[in-house]
Structure 1
Amino acid sequence: MATRPLEGKTALVTGGSRGVGAGIVARLAADGARVAFTYANSPQRAEAVAAAAAAHPIRADSLHEQDIEAAVAQTADRFGSLDILVNNAAVGTFATITDLKMAEIDAMLTINVRSVIVAIRESLAHMGSGGRIINIGSINADRTPFPGQSIYATTKGALASLTRGLARELAPRGITINNIQPGPIDTDANPADGPAASTMLGVMAMDRFGTAAEVGAFVSYLAGPDATYITGASLDIDGGFGA
């Protein structure tokens, strides 16, 4: 088996400057891909990720359709192709439906769902047979054990449905699409030693959070040569959160 299974491939990762996204950027680059990633804020953080992975940062806010369109075009222009799209950018505001502001709901729907659709539509113009689309969903699409997760879970459930539907449309073109559903992952936004950690660990089979590197490895596998027969799937990496 090749030690750099993604050699010669080009990838775009949305929301790649921190947390799970940064872990995905690092792994795809380590496995040989030429990687571009988007970020909306914190240019210093983005530059650090770019330097560590020899990746190309693109400032793009997933709230804005034109930013996503430009990021896809810039990636394809810079590298001459686009083989792998990872839709990772997402936001989550956790409160009951009556406490959420409509602006917060709209932001989750726009970034978590609409921007994914835009990125896929734009990427398909540059993606040929062997292309891979990987959505980063959430185990909350299947299980919401705590109040305040309803709208976030709705957006992630939409990704699972989108993945199944597009698998039918894209298979004739030789393109696969899959949906990874992480559970609790140790990031600065959801630290393994944070105030909610003990509650989440209480509903998991394993007694630890996952890592961004573990999610990155899963993404790289789905993008690589050993996953050609997997499409339309929602695959959990959750430490038994949904068990």
Structure 2
Amino acid sequence: MDYELTVYQCEGTDSEKLEWFKTINIAGEKLTDQELRNAVYAGSWLTDAKRYFSKSGCVASNLGDKYVKGSPIRQELLQTALEWIYCTENDTENKPHKSIESYMALHQHDEHSTKLWNYFQSVINWVKNTFPTYRKEMKGLEWGVFYNQFKDTDLNPTALENEIKTLMEDDEVSKKAGVYAYVLTRDERYLNLRTFSDKDKRILFERQKGVCPYCKQMFEITQMEADHITPWSQGGKTDLSNGQMLCKGCNRKKSDQ
């Protein structure tokens, strides 16, 4: 074979090298973010970590395949484990991708990655013990984040399963995968609860003749928001019989109560 090969010799800090790799990562099949990181932070720690997380049929995949998305070969499983474990050592939950570089640089020359592998096992085993009934909605959730936050909380798997079953059957819950985060955090935003349609809003607005039932003032429909008279948490449904149009100010006040 007789053709020219362009070779780049990179100098600089690890972060500068990583940015350079991203710049030239345009030809052929693009490398994933973690594949780029692996090129910069190669060392004894990474070699050992890849034994667990980066081969087809690797032990991490065999253990957590039902709960974690991503290809081991494309380093996505390794990336997930790194995102989770980094948050146990640093307050960077909201910026996991940016933090992985620091973690890999810190451990680059460690002899082994046993801590990462043990941590990953702890996460998956906690999930299996806390939620023993498997559902397809469990794949791909932020289990490491939940583990970090709730591993020391006294949770009742039977009570959790009963609540999960009820929520899975609830038509008001649009995002079934969010049920697991909800039963842990009690944050209703994970459920993506049903809302009133534009048609419903128009019907409610006409019934009220544009008058907000709280402040008794008249508004345009664009100045009003649909509200559940009885909230979902108290058994309310997204039915016209349980709906009303409130002005935005009154709706905010009601939500804050």
- What TM-score does the superposition give when structure 2 sets the normalisation length? 0.19
Higher strand share: 1
Indicate the structure (1 or 2) with the bigger Cα radius of gyration: 2
- What TM-score does the superposition give when structure 1 sets the normalisation length? 0.20
| Greater relative contact order (CA < 8 Å, ≥ 6 in sequence) | 1
